[in-house]
Structure 1
Amino acid sequence: MWFLAIRQLLNRPQQTVLTFVGILLGTAAYCVFSGIMVGFQEYITDQLVNNDAQIRISPRDEVIREQSFYGLFYPETTFLKWVKPPSGKLDNTQLTNVNGWFRKLDRDERVEAYAPQLNRQLIFKFGKQSLPGKLQGVDPIRQMRVTTIGNYVESGNFKDLDRGGDMIFAGSGLLEKLGATLGDTVHIVTDDGRTANVKVGGVIHVGNRMIDDTAAYASLRTVQRITLSTGVVSEIAIRLKRLDIAADMATEWAFFTRDKVESWDQTYENVLAVFKTQNIVRNTTTFTIMLVVAFGIYNILNMVVNQKKREIAILRSIGFDENDTIRLFIIQGLLLGIVGSLAGLVLGAIVCFFLDGYPIGNTSSSKTQMMSNVMRISWDWTIYLKAFGLSVGCSGIAAYIPARSASKLSPVEIIRGSA
């Protein structure tokens, strides 16, 4: 059976080669498209998950409505008429029960690490330049257990934040705009007009302009002292032992507190929706390519059935039944699919190898080139497994239809019609 299938393929080299090339290019295209898109998604997900909290506990902003005052002024009155209905919202700046959260997180075996934070919006001043930004007070040891911020320190040691003194680690873009450098003293102005001096003890370059151009880090005690917020914690960043349970844990904890509890995938739900759209586009494009290849296989094998009717009749006459005829043509389709897919996987891997790390951003900057400036390719083995399965499956299905037609041919009618 295999001998006959291979011999028929070799007897029509031009058609076989064209079909082989179609399968090869379709498989390679799937590997390259998927590698690029999945690589981009992996990079963005890594930035969202590892550079930030997997679960974040923060104060809940309460919107003021008429119902908010029911029973407050006149407990016995169920109806109030407002001259001007209340509006706006209450901006809470601290958690309701910080110590309670610490005890709960310490006892929860699903939590790998957590880090308290105090975030404040203020003004950075150096010389004649002034810029708004965010000063984030952290426990440096705990923060590095929760996020990968320590990997993005260009100058200094992030652990030095907790050694005393009013020191900050500022984003590279923020320092560049201020005209300050490592070792300079920067003035910060709080929202109530007070001024404090801090020394630039380190430089951070994440590669995200929203962080690099606006953020600075200091020890939690330093920010509490500067902003007169002794003992205040505005957020708790949490890292879990299992990332896939983040949303379920956030929903579970939200039932027992007035604080806002959000997992990373709930916070960046819009970004993940974009990923789903990309996957639909990728799969649709690949399916279209493989559909064209499948039609090519179908047309070629259908022509073979018409051209090889006499040979089919002879095979049926010497004992081949309908199932044997179907197997003969399906083997041809699967041979083309398997060989073409394997070659396509190799070609796709070679293209991905050359694309991986290809510069796509501004590489002329003197700063350390970040991953966001180069193309990121995913080497997930499931991409190649799916490409192989899709190509072989399409080839087998495309071969079955003409194979079934060939099995229905009557040897007597074929010989009589060709006589």
Structure 2
Amino acid sequence: MDEALLRSLTPTVIGILVRRGADFAAAEDAVQDALVEAVRVWPDDQPRDAKGWLVAVAWRKFLDATRAESSRRRREELVEAEPVPGPCETVDDTLRLYFLCAHPSLTPASAVALTLRAVGGLTTRQIARAYLVPEATMAQRISRAKRTVTGVRLDQLGDVGTVLRVLYLVFNEGYSGDVDLAGEAIRLTRQLAAMTRDEEVAGLLALMLLHHARRAARTRPDGSLVPLAEQDRGLWDTRLIAEGVDVLQAALARDRLGEFQAQAAIAALHADAQAAEETDWVQIVEWYDELVRLTGSPVVRLNRAVAVGEADGPRAGLAALDELDPGLPRYAAVAAYLHERDGDPVTAARLYAEAARSAPSLPERNHLTRQAARLNALLRG
């Protein structure tokens, strides 16, 4: 069973059903039913034309559902208008569906969740982890979003900012290694960048390329995380770094700064350093100041505290941290790092252990646990 093939075909098949007249929610339901059928049938008899098979089965599922509630005239007309079998359309609807999911009738959070489910191919559990909420909560959110768009003709393109947030969440989910969607997110962002001169689209593409360039160095053979300062920079993809920097410089030259451009500028400064100790932390703090101005995000302020600790010393970093809510995700991990650099291994070990208990992923939890164990061993020795 080729799950990657199924995931890549899902948005295309949804798009075909939408163009044939199905509303988005009904199309998504029908395609999910077809995917279940594919999982059941394909291991023994995978079709030559996988897309054609999915389109045919999904359309039949849609028609069956339509006939079951055929009191509405429009649905009856759709049943009678079943297309003649033949080659499937070759239009790539994936990017269009991203826009359609950013519909004005949905909140940004619901639009992101629905798009990740219907277009990105992520499961409800994976989306819930991205949002740091219980799976049941995310299932309810997606269900409400689908009810909201049921019967709505999604012919009005949504907000590009929401589309960019969706693409970045898909990229980050793929980057985690649980579902490899990073390449697909980059492909879609390239396509969007080719269609528009929007500086933030270019900023997001640059950010993705610069992060993706470090992928091979981020984990050890046993799957454990390698912190940025310890990564083998010889494993970084210099071609992707050069492309990311070029894309970013072209965007910055248009002098309409946005948050993705600022994030990409920080990533570019990390990529420019031949060794960790050569990192230009002063410039990085300046870019974080821009990000704080643009977003006001507490998470940005948390990351800024790390940069301040590197640029001006751990005491300055801890002072910046004191201004933030200790309940922020990864607050304890940042505090542990800064306390260790400040020569307080007892506090650092305690905070590393605390951070491990609330870590959002197993690799991160294991990394923080090892950090706590390392310091405790030093204290005992």
Q: State the structure with bigger RCO (CA 8 A, min sep 6), 1 or 2.
A: 1
Greater strand share, structure number: 1
TM-score above 0.5? no
Look at both structures and tell me which one has the larger radius of gyration over its CA atoms: 1
TM class, shorter-chain normalised? Answer: under 0.3
Higher helix share: 2
